[in-house]
Amino acid sequence: MNRRFQLAAVALGISVLARVAWALFWPSNLILVDLHVYVEGAANLFGGNLYEWTDSSRSPQFPLPFTYPPFAALLLYPLHFLPFGVVAVGWLLATVGALFGIIWIALEMILGPEAMQQQRWRTSAVAWTAGGMWLEPVRSTLDYGQVNVFLVFMAMAAARSTRWWLAGAWVGLGAGIKLTPAVTGLYFVARKQWLAIAASVGAFAGTIGLTYLLTPNETKKYFGELVGDPHRIGPVGSVVNQSLRGALSRLAGHDIGGGLLWKAAVLATAVLAFFAWRALRSDDRLGTLLIVQLFGMMAAPISWSHHWICLVPLVLWLRFGPLRDAPGAGLMRAFWLFNTIVGIPWLLGTVQTNMWEISRPWYLAWAGTANAAGVLVLFGWMIAVKRLSPAPAVDRSPVREPYPVA
């Protein structure tokens, strides 16, 4: 074990201990607020009031309901039998483990599995995990005790796997926990992995069928009444919501809703994402997955800044990926690294006096488009790089990776 690896391991250990201390002893009543909702809300799964229950003790401006499908509550249900401090520490450690998995898979998808056998890249994975814990999407996820890192890990594991049934299961189960991971199915479409799509649909249907057998009323209520209501999740116009709908609502000064303007913006983003994907190399699986995940963040009605965990592998892709030396790559890296370290939406959120008030000065409205505008620029840059450096046409049909991956 070389000295650099030891230093990286020590840095990771210090980061974990600091986060545990922060989670357990910081005096803010918002710390681990979402984990409290998961644990205490899921305890109502079999009581018939899972979706009527709310917790306002830690969020006075917005009583927090349980917003996930009943399958998520089923998985979380056993946690309420444990002391919350035990759950909190275990959740944090598991989140860090999932973050390490995201970084490892990202590096492996960029460099190849052989590179990850080298000490240099193993050390990099540990060091990036230690630093990644302090990037805004991750540190906010750890603050709130959110589930986002696990969901992105599941998407990364699905893209990594060469077994269609396992890849599909990862995505279907992720969608059963929270609907937004279903967008990963577009990755399978891009890669023409039709069996994986079928497996993901089957796995998702299985989560619904299981909860319908166990709690039919809660399942019918969620999928029949609540699934399309973004206002249960929170205020659409809050600056922490970095989706297209959130950004456009703040620019307009009111919630634009799901009408023509929003649909046109999603369609334009989809077109831009398609051509950005077409500009990638056919073997750039991580680049394809990132485009899909970023499009999902943009199209969702609400994408809190701590939902954007995919920015961690994006920074790695910009640093080590195939476009690392392309014109403008340095600016792309600088912006996204700055935004993930500082967290522009999070920073603006600290001066937002009322999360329900959408109208604001124009300079704050435009600054609050940081993630959404950044994604549009990123997609445009990918397309421009392709035009500046045209390459011969390549076969975009997926090639089975020459190594077995679980």
Tens-place pLDDT, residues 57-112:
766 667 889 999 999 999 999 999 999 989 999 999 999 999 999 999 999 999 99
pLDDT of residue 402: 41
Mean pLDDT, the chain, as a whole number? 90
394 CB neighbour count, 10 Å cutoff: 9
Q: Tens digit of pLDDT for each residue in 253-293?
A: 989 988 899 999 999 999 999 999 999 998 999 999 999 99
Q: Tens digit of pLDDT for each residue in 299-322?
A: 999 999 999 999 999 999 999 999
pLDDT of residue 396: 41
pLDDT of residue 166: 96
Q: Identify the band that residue 249 occupies on the pLDDT scale cut at 50, 70 and 90.
A: very high
Contacts of 314 (CB under 8 A, 6+ apart): 290, 294, 336
Domain-embedded: residue 404: no
Tokens of 361: 């000065």
The residue-averaged pLDDT of 189-218 equals 96
Domain-embedded: residue 329: yes
The residue-averaged pLDDT of 21-28 equals 71
pLDDT of residue 404: 37
Domain-embedded: residue 19: no
Domain-embedded: residue 278: yes
pLDDT at 346 exceeding the cut of 90? no
Of 28-37, 174-183, 336-345, the range with the lowest mean pLDDT is 28-37
The residue-averaged pLDDT of 130-155 equals 95
Domain-embedded: residue 258: yes
Half-sphere exposure of 156 (CA within 13 A, CB side): 25
Domain span including residue 244: 234-394
Domain-embedded: residue 198: no
Domain-embedded: residue 117: no
pLDDT higher at 231 or 97: 97
pLDDT at 6 exceeding the cut of 80? yes
pLDDT of residue 1: 61
pTM here is 0.92
Count the domains in the chain: 1
